[in-house]
């Protein structure tokens, strides 16, 4: 399998011109650390996905409940 480089993931300069209404250019998801592990924050799917294991997911709803019960965000 071919490895990707930063150029492969960078949208082209004319990305906005080719997109139709309601379509956005691809972008890199922000990364956050939860309990010592790195997760992508996916606002569209409303979940965090582990960077090294994408099947490890935590929904935003679970995080809100954890905040309500623990009184703080999980470390």
pLDDT in tens, 20-75: 556 667 788 999 998 889 999 999 999 999 999 989 898 988 888 777 777 766 65
For the four alpha carbons of 3, 7, 13 and 16, in that order, the dihedral sign comes to positive
Q: Whole-model pTM?
A: 0.58
């Amino acid at each position: 399998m071919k490895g990707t480089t930063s150029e492969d993931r960078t949208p082209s300069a004319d990305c906005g011109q080719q997109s139709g209404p309601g379509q956005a250019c691809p972008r890199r998801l922000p990364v956050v650390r939860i309990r010592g592990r790195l997760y992508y924050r996916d606002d569209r799917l409303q979940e965090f996905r582990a960077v090294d294991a994408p099947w490890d997911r935590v929904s935003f709803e679970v995080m809100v409940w954890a905040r309500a019960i623990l009184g703080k965000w999980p470390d």
